[in-house]
Structure 1
Amino acid sequence: MGEQQLSEKPASESKVSAEALIDTGIKGVQLFKVTDAVRCAPAIYEPAIIAIVSGTKEAILDGQRFSYGSDQYMCCTMSMPVEAGTPLASPEQPLLGVYISLDTKVMTELVIELASTTSVMKQPKHSDQSPSLSLATWDDSFTDALLRLLQLLANPTQMKILGDNRLREFYYAVLEGQAGQSVKRAFGMGNEIARSIEYLSAHLGKSVTIDELASQVGMSRAVFHRKFKQATTMSPIQFVKSMRLNNAAMRIASGENVSTAALAMGYVSSSQFSRDFKRLYGQSPKQWAQTK
């Protein structure tokens, strides 16, 4: 559905180049085009919607592989350590898509406003997918809202005047869609795990304990551990380690010295960093740097 309806809008595609994410002028909305096959590699997903117009994208979270194209969109509600890639992209069949950040303030306002206008609160439906990372099927409301948002790119005046409202309309379509329950849990009143991850992300280079994370959201260690794993599929310790190692791997891939990257992520022992890195990625940090 996504490719069929959006591919008719060349004005938006003309703004896309092969230089990865391209700002559109609407806050948090970026376009991307990938023409090279890229194997899955460490990355950090921030709260966002990733909608593919053409091609296929992949992400791996704690061993679970997500592969999606123009029939589904990716919804990430919290900062997550993943492996991401575009293994099928090519110059003949490029990956084209839209990356839309989820603004915490606006999303929280919408979730609370939506809850206040609903007389009976619906309980979240059970899902085999992680509430933090899930795939949702394009529906008519999502497609229409995304199309109306992208139509603004052809008119700078309309973009400036209507951009915020169209983005809010798009957020609402996500809330009402298949990923809605996950988004409501992350941005609603019971968003303790999302808040703990936000705190962790701001203190990755420091010594943050699980007890400290639990106390930040007013939970006991045991309750925090259980709820954290329900939300992310990982234990808090595993999550912290993955976030640090993924960030370090990204720094090394961009040319940063291995020791500097390790120190920036809170590792005081280079040997411990190398052991953890090799255990997760199957390569030593130096081998990883040589392959990038």
Structure 2
Amino acid sequence: MDEFDYVRRKLIERILHLTEKQPVVRPLPGLTVGRRESPTEPSTYILPPSICIAVQGAKRVLIGEEYYVYDVENFLLNSFDVPVVAQVIEASKEKPYIGMTWEIDMEILMEIVVEQKLNTRPITSSRGTSLGKVTHQLLDAFRRMLELLDEPEHISALLPVIKKEIIYRLLVSEQGPRLIQIALSGKNDVITALNYLKEHFNESVNMKRLAEMVGMSVSTFYQNFKILTGMTPLQYQKKLRLCEARKLLMAGSDVTTAAYQVGYESLSQFSREYKRFFGVSPSQDAKKLKEEPYTRILY
């Protein structure tokens, strides 16, 4: 057994133990681990800037109109908050899907970029999501991160060290430029507009105003936004609204209140678009979320 397979086996054992009582858990801040014993139906949620790893099995993620499949050999790196449609495509009872999603620690990321004097020219003409190669060094860092659960008294001292190692290894990989894109999100014109849409998702989109905000023509802004996200500003906002509405339903809100709170003026339009996006009506989804509490952790 080589180093890669040894570390992967250790991670599988650890995550199987952590998920004995429920399929998805958050054992440490920013880290979600889970198992699925069969392929899943597509599920929709907001994926933050993060790295997603399949320790066993495979998962497919739709962002805009583009599919990404990550598995034992390839991780998914995402550099901005984006609505995704995700589906476990390789899993069985004998060999369940085992996965991890770790949200990038922004403070540590910026610290390393400054310390190492890395090239800080932001990317403006490439996707904010990509696939990268999983290495045994990267997996081993996550193994050591999870083993800190056996020594809780050392977590506060050692967790930042392991986080720093993971981010550094990613920065010196082919995915480094996308991590720098995350660090410099305030200096990337398109991400500035994207952040504005996140904060004002319940307001009408004014394309001209957004373009002026970032100093671009409407056509240039539209093109650059679609290159980064794989969707138009209006599509991005609509998906944000629907994901936010689902959060409100999770928290116990009724369908009408959720619809109007996220910016819809027509309840029938909201229900129609919600069902198209999530595959189920808002009222049916709310009922399901109450019956299956673990789905409150989207994964």
Give the TM-score band, short-chain normalised. 0.7 to 0.9
Map 1:213-292 onto structure 2 (within 5 A): 213-248=210-245, 256-277=253-274, 285=282
CA contact (8 A) 1:42 1:249 kept: no
The offset of 1:266, in angstroms, is 0.6
Asked if 1:146 is matched to 2:142, the reply is yes
Cross-structure match for 2:19:
16
Q: Distance in 2 between matches of 1:43 and 1:35?
A: 21
Which residue identity does 1:180 align to in structure 2? G
Could you tell me which runs of 5 or more consecutive residues in structure 2 were left unpaired when the two chains were aligned: 290-299
CA contact (8 A) 1:258 1:285 kept: yes
Q: Distance in 1 between matches of 2:195 and 2:234?
A: 15
The offset of 1:147, in angstroms, is 3.3
Q: Distance in 1 between matches of 2:218 and 2:124?
A: 26
CA contact (8 A) 1:76 1:132 kept: yes
Q: Distance in 1 between matches of 2:144 and 2:280?
A: 45
Q: Distance in 2 between matches of 1:192 and 1:84?
A: 28
Q: Distance in 1 between matches of 2:157 and 2:224?
A: 41
Residues 168, 273 of structure 1: CA spacing in aligned structure 2 closer, same or farther, 3 A cutoff?
A: same
Q: Distance in 1 between matches of 2:144 and 2:230?
A: 35
Residues 122, 254 of structure 1: CA spacing in aligned structure 2 closer, same or farther, 3 A cutoff?
A: closer
Pick from 45, 48, 51: which aligns with 2:50?
A: 48
Residues 208, 6 of structure 1: CA spacing in aligned structure 2 closer, same or farther, 3 A cutoff?
A: same
Q: Distance in 1 between matches of 2:160 and 2:42?
A: 33
Comparing 276-285 with 43-52, greater Cα deviation is found at 276-285
The offset of 1:219, in angstroms, is 4.0
Cross-structure match for 1:181:
177
Residues 124, 216 of structure 1: CA spacing in aligned structure 2 closer, same or farther, 3 A cutoff?
A: closer
Which residue identity does 2:175 align to in structure 1? A
Pick from 77, 83, 91: which aligns with 1:75?
A: 77
Cross-structure match for 1:205:
202
Which residue identity does 2:148 align to in structure 1? L
Comparing 138-147 with 40-49, greater Cα deviation is found at 138-147
Comparing 251-260 with 93-102, greater Cα deviation is found at 251-260
Q: Deviations over 1:80-126 (max 9, x none)?
A: 11111224434332222222111233323333444x256xx789698
The offset of 1:163, in angstroms, is 0.7
Residues 67, 3 of structure 1: CA spacing in aligned structure 2 closer, same or farther, 3 A cutoff?
A: farther
Q: Deviations over 1:153-173 (max 9, x none)?
A: 332233221111110111111
CA contact (8 A) 1:3 1:53 kept: no
The offset of 1:142, in angstroms, is 2.3
Could you tell me which runs of 5 or more consecutive residues in structure 1 were left unpaired when the two chains were aligned: none
Residues 11, 269 of structure 1: CA spacing in aligned structure 2 closer, same or farther, 3 A cutoff?
A: closer
The offset of 1:282, in angstroms, is 7.0
1:39 partner SS? coil
The offset of 1:255, in angstroms, is 6.8
Q: Distance in 2 between matches of 1:173 and 1:238?
A: 34
Comparing 29-38 with 160-169, greater Cα deviation is found at 29-38
TM-score (norm 1): 0.80
Q: Distance in 2 between matches of 1:49 and 1:214?
A: 30
The offset of 1:221, in angstroms, is 3.2
Cα RMSD, aligned residues only: 3.4
2:41 partner SS? strand
CA contact (8 A) 2:52 2:76 kept: yes
Q: Distance in 2 between matches of 1:41 and 1:186?
A: 25
Q: Distance in 2 between matches of 1:89 and 1:100?
A: 21
